[in-house]
Structure 1
Amino acid sequence: MSSQDTVPADFMGSKSRPRRFLLSTALLSAITVVALVAWLYVFRHGPQNSPSPSSAFTLSDLEKGNVTAKPDTDATATAGSNSNSSLPATALMPASEPAVSSAPVVKLRQGTYIGATIPSSDSYPKAIEAFRGIPFAETTAGESRFRLPVPIGPSDGTFEAVALGQSCPGSNATNATGEVTIEGEDCLNLNVYRPRGARPADRRLPVVVYVHGGGFNGGVGTERNMASFVSWAKEPIIAVNFNYRVGALGFLPSAVTAREGLLNLGLKDQQLLFAWVRDNVAAFGGDADNITLMGLSAGAHSIGHHLMYYSRSSTPAPFAKAILESGATTARSVLYPTHPRHLKQFREFLIAAGIAGVPEQDVFPTLRKLPVGTITRASRAIWDRYNATVCWPFQPVIDGPNSLSNSSHAIGRPGDDGGAIPASVIPDLPVESWREGNHLRIPVLTGFNTNEGTMFVPQHAGSNEDFRKFFTTLIPGLRTQDLEALEALYPDPVTNPSSPYKTVLKGMGRQWARLDAAYSHFAYICPVLQTAHFLSTADDATGRPSSSTVFSKSSHHPSPDGGVTEERSASPGAGRAPVYVYRYAATGTWGTANHGDEAPVVAHDMGVVAPRRGGPRPGIRNIADAMHGAWVNFIVSRDGDPNPTTTTVRWAPFESPLAAPGSGPGQSHVMVFGEGNDEREPPEFRSRPGPRRPGTAARPETLSAAEVERCRFWWERIELSEGVGR
């Protein structure tokens, strides 16, 4: 379905913006009635009666144990499928015509927006004012497809901001509230949530901006219930979530894309949004000097890239702190756009889109003329082809001058960096940016879940050969001695009686737990700890690590420039960025703490914390109180301290134990949330008999020697999955 065939969720327009209709009072009233009826129906009957899309990256899939991605269909409507959703946003009360004056209103340069109120309830202890579907960029349809985002123009019109805006094509995502959204190319929109009446004159409110996950191939800003996050906060805050382009439309690596200067468009969407928040949040009562970015998975990977980018930017970073959940700039792989994997996937995408024979110079003009459904189906087909091996297509890539990126042609919005959105967002290998100190030194809260790999690795792998094949496919540069070291670090449960990976669920292969552990370290845990390491050891003057000596090149493999090993000493410095590291341990599907399981707990989403069905979860409630409270404290505090004023369990800043051998261990403080809790385990996946266990809400731990050893293994081989393919 083309963008012309879809009906936008917001009807806007003025003489300066002909693509949107200015809302007359009558039209506003009609739309309000329709929206209210729809919300009340879902609120009464529950999202389980709404259509349910497939997604490889949704909470509902994790809860159900369904992690198989399916191809897109022609349908563009998506809805939430989490039967435990508390549906707070379905209780939105749009203002009817006589009550418009009492609805929340905000005046921006781009127009006046009329929002709605979410009344207080068991799910929402405080009423929330919501402004939804506000555009921050023009449509990306037609000739604007595969282009840099263009900021929204000025308007003196008045617009409704009650319904969610379009989600980006191919997002195939679940909204935390269960509401239906329409996919379309006019999708660069945002939502703002603030406590009702909380606009104190004496101070501006702290702001958090949520960056969604989805492997850069899916996802939507409303995947996390940020209205709940705001409502449960003891201190008043403002939250923003938004969409960015995903899949081939947002991340299409190739030599052709590089020469056109069109790499990493989804990251550039994010940067435009950050600038929008900085410039507009004061109108909502927010503090532009106290903005925190928060992201999960691909959202956290993205934030990691922005930590690097804004250290080089000619304008100050539009955020002051960052929360990275299960993600990092060095996670998985960051390749050049000319890596053979990306080039092969690009060719396969063109074949799937039916334009394989088009001359190179006509590729993007032709793609701009295709129905958007053709592009999303081709994008999903390539995703499905590579999903099982985790060699994912359509990822961020190095886009600096040496990647063929036409960095001299920076075109886009005026303002930042000499008048344009820069062509280069990831100019260098992320690990080199860490080593050279090219990163912001700001407070960061980051962490991981115990079993990050369960939903990604092959479930039926049964032999050591299967174990080897998975990693040699993912990282072809691994040598025989690397594989032998890998096998020693993660003992084979089939042949080694002392292997810690012997216990697996019925129906799972005997290598599943072993693969989970190894992939968790490679893709999530060790990259997260790498972020914590470099930020906590950065010298105040140089930004380089100051903990004695650290490896700046692999001692096991040639680096991309031909070097083998280089060690660098840096003098100790003060003013290191405070970093707080967590581990989420409460078990759910498969009796494990899976990727993304912490998301609704952090949001204090009562659909998961206290569901209507399945029995009480007092332990999860305690964990949610602890995690949500710490996250809010971090956001509110200008120095990023997650600790409350009084506490019996103090969360200490991380000190890295991962400097070079012999330099002495640091105090690797990690806060563990939910150890021993099994209240979210489905009956078929109960890991322990007997009554449900609440576990421990929060307790500190330090990294084990085994954890440090495993991360050293992966770090010493990082050049095998970064900066390859130029």
Structure 2
Amino acid sequence: MWKAAVCLVFGQQVLASSAVPVVSLEGYGSFQGLSVNTSLTNDTLPAAVDAWLGIDYAVQPVGERRFRPVQDRPAAFNGTRAASSWGKVCVQDPSTMPYEQDEACLSFNVFRTAGVSLDEKLPTLVWIHGGGFVAGSARSPDGASFVASSQHPIAAVTFNYRINSLGFLPSTLFEKEGLLNLGLLDQRFLLEFLQDHLASFGGDPDQITLGGRSAGGHSTGIHYFHNYGNDTGKPLFARVILQSGSVTARAFPNATFPQYQSDFKRFMVALNCSTNATNTAALRCLRSAPIDTIQAISAKMYADGAPTIAWPFQPTLGGPLLERPGSVSGIEGTFFRVPAITSHVNNEGKYYTPGDLETNDDFLNFMLTTSPDMNMTDIAIMNELYPDPVAHSDSPYSSSPNSTQYNRLSEAWSDYAYICPSRETAYRVSKADVPIWRLHFNTPDTPLEYVSWRGIPHASDTRYTWASQQVPFELTGQIYHAYLASFVATGDPNTLRLDGTPEWPQYDGSKGAEAEQLLVNPGNFTVVERDSYRRAQCDFWNDEERAVRLHK
């Protein structure tokens, strides 16, 4: 009979026990896990799961390793270490992240169905957290809840990667020194680490589903559409899930983009680093700057850019893993031929877009800030596709709340950044005869009367993904999660779907508006629908010449 000790790990109750196997990672060391029986929101899980928390996957990027690609795995050690507490999260705005932060943040967590021998290698979800490339942590998603709610034994991996200025600092200096897209390289490093060590946790490295939402979905799309160069024919995953994310979700310009240059100058000045120094001297200054100062200026720069979505600290075209635009990879077919799920929510843009714009000039200035390479023809067409409610009383946006331009701008941004990129991904993948399923999520994360004017905004599907008990429509979460867990377990979202729910048809882009997708409504009202909405708008944003010109 084993003894147990109940403890709290950053708000998550766990049950530590010798019943959870010790895992031995060759060339690294041994780790004792623990049993988790509650979710991150302290709900009792359907079943306890085995877990190993806070394990480093790289030598930490601190000191002289700051602003460098990770290259080395952690040193080997003797004995057994406890893997029973979360690692520190990566440096970001402390006002939006309550957990302890540190530059030494590159750790991962494994959650696995309990009672299954480690010799049985389970299909594994590896999830890249979102947060606009400036925020977030491995606590999203709730890996324990995702695993515990699955009808089939599976595993899940969550992890931290460098974000904000420490992970994404676009500049010509970093381009010359090979230091762009460090956060993407962290993600890649973790995937390579798992190829060697996932089996020790009882996971199957040949059955990895790479997934993510928002920036995590964009990241997943970047890896998915990188079947060229040294990666050709060598995927580190067997399938992908892209929730509100895509390689073409927004413009990713190169390091010469004017905003990136001005952002970098502002960053350097704030750190008292000379903008006229040699590359060596500039990097020495950046690597010796106080981390608190880096944290503060990074948070301030992001906050200043948020109202216009002119975000700093983003993946950069021409850097590692994004050497060519995602739209070009789609056109040329340089993506991995592995099955995929792509999804969007009903009113994506209402999460971001400001509610105080009143004129057509306000609308155009916002869109041009988002995508400054639009020309006069683009603007004229956009004005037709999204008619100004001030000038046209019959505009579909004439009843906009908050301001005259809110619904118009929200819909244009939704199409530009999420809905049309999702359709583009589905079209390109299905055209290559690769199985892909598309989903339209139409269920609120809060009671609609609370913020009814926001509809179903970006990230509304977050907690439904792991069948959280905290959502307004628990049955919807069970339905949605079952499709996703089935895809992770079998490569098909239908195999283990809940009884009584519709078969989710594969997307066939050749059918145009007759292509079928899943519509997730509140309660037990999930149905199959035709992908017939926003066709003209998506034809505009997904036009091949325009997409390349806009750096999508």
TM-score normalised by L of structure 2: 0.92
Give the drift of 1:219.
Answer: 1.0
Give the drift of 1:171.
Answer: 6.1
What RMSD in Å do the two structures reach over aligned CA positions?
Answer: 2.3
Matching of residues 610-625 of structure 1 within 5 Å: 617=472, 620-625=473-478
Change (3 A) 1:314 1:582: closer
1:396 maps to what in 2? 315
Out of 124, 131, 134, which is 2:45 matched to?
Answer: 124
Matching of residues 135-174 of structure 1 within 5 Å: 135-149=56-70, 150-170=72-92, 172=94
State the AA in 2 paired with 1:155.
F
2:248 is the alignment partner of 1:330:
yes
2:542 maps to what in 1? 715
Matching of residues 592-671 of structure 1 within 5 Å: 592-606=455-469, 608-609=470-471, 617=472, 620-638=473-491, 641=494, 644=497, 647-656=500-509, 665=512, 667-671=514-518
State the AA in 2 paired with 1:626.
I
Measure, in 1, the Cα distance between the counterparts of 2:369 and 2:475.
Answer: 42
State the AA in 1 paired with 2:422.
V
In 1, are the aligned partners of 2:484 and 2:493 still within 8 Å (CA)?
no
Out of 358, 364, 370, which is 1:468 matched to?
Answer: 364
Measure, in 2, the Cα distance between the counterparts of 1:496 and 1:271.
Answer: 49
Give the drift of 1:427.
Answer: 1.6
2:381 is the alignment partner of 1:485:
yes
Moved more, 325-334 or 463-472: 463-472
Out of 290, 301, 309, which is 2:207 matched to?
Answer: 290
In 2, are the aligned partners of 1:631 and 1:642 still within 8 Å (CA)?
no
In 1, are the aligned partners of 2:482 and 2:498 still within 8 Å (CA)?
no
In 1, are the aligned partners of 2:494 and 2:503 still within 8 Å (CA)?
no
Change (3 A) 1:468 1:247: same
2:302 is the alignment partner of 1:380:
no
Change (3 A) 1:655 1:387: same
2:301 is the alignment partner of 1:301:
no
Out of 359, 364, 385, which is 2:277 matched to?
Answer: 359
* Structure 1 SS opposite 2:123: strand
1:569 maps to what in 2? none
Matching of residues 245-284 of structure 1 within 5 Å: 245-284=162-201
Measure, in 1, the Cα distance between the counterparts of 2:174 and 2:38.
Answer: 49
Q: Any stretches of 5+ residues in structure 1 without a counterpart?
A: 1-28, 40-78, 80-86, 96-100, 401-423, 539-575, 610-616, 658-663, 678-693
Q: Any stretches of 5+ residues in structure 2 without a counterpart?
A: none
1:226 maps to what in 2? 143
Change (3 A) 1:252 1:320: same
Q: Percent of counterpart pairs with the same letter?
A: 32
Change (3 A) 1:276 1:391: same
Paired positions, count: 535
Measure, in 1, the Cα distance between the counterparts of 2:540 and 2:278.
Answer: 41
Matching of residues 42-61 of structure 1 within 5 Å: none
* Structure 2 SS opposite 1:327: coil
Change (3 A) 1:721 1:366: same
2:341 maps to what in 1? 445
Out of 418, 439, 451, which is 1:590 matched to?
Answer: 451
In 2, are the aligned partners of 1:164 and 1:181 still within 8 Å (CA)?
no
2:238 is the alignment partner of 1:320:
yes
- Deviation per residue, 1:191-244 (Å, 9 max, x gap): 11112212275x421100010001111111112211111111111110000000
Out of 98, 107, 110, which is 1:189 matched to?
Answer: 107
* Structure 2 SS opposite 1:119: strand
Give the drift of 1:461.
Answer: 1.1
1:22 maps to what in 2? none
Larger Rg: 1
Give the drift of 1:307.
Answer: 1.1
In 1, are the aligned partners of 2:374 and 2:550 still within 8 Å (CA)?
no
* Structure 2 SS opposite 1:134: strand
In 2, are the aligned partners of 1:207 and 1:237 still within 8 Å (CA)?
yes
Matching of residues 530-541 of structure 1 within 5 Å: 530-538=424-432
Measure, in 2, the Cα distance between the counterparts of 1:654 and 1:155.
Answer: 49
Change (3 A) 1:128 1:171: farther
In 2, are the aligned partners of 1:140 and 1:185 still within 8 Å (CA)?
yes
Out of 413, 416, 426, which is 1:519 matched to?
Answer: 413
State the AA in 2 paired with 1:672.
L
- Deviation per residue, 1:230-277 (Å, 9 max, x gap): 111111110000000001100111110011111100000000111112
- Deviation per residue, 1:151-170 (Å, 9 max, x gap): 22222231111110111111
State the AA in 2 paired with 1:293.
L
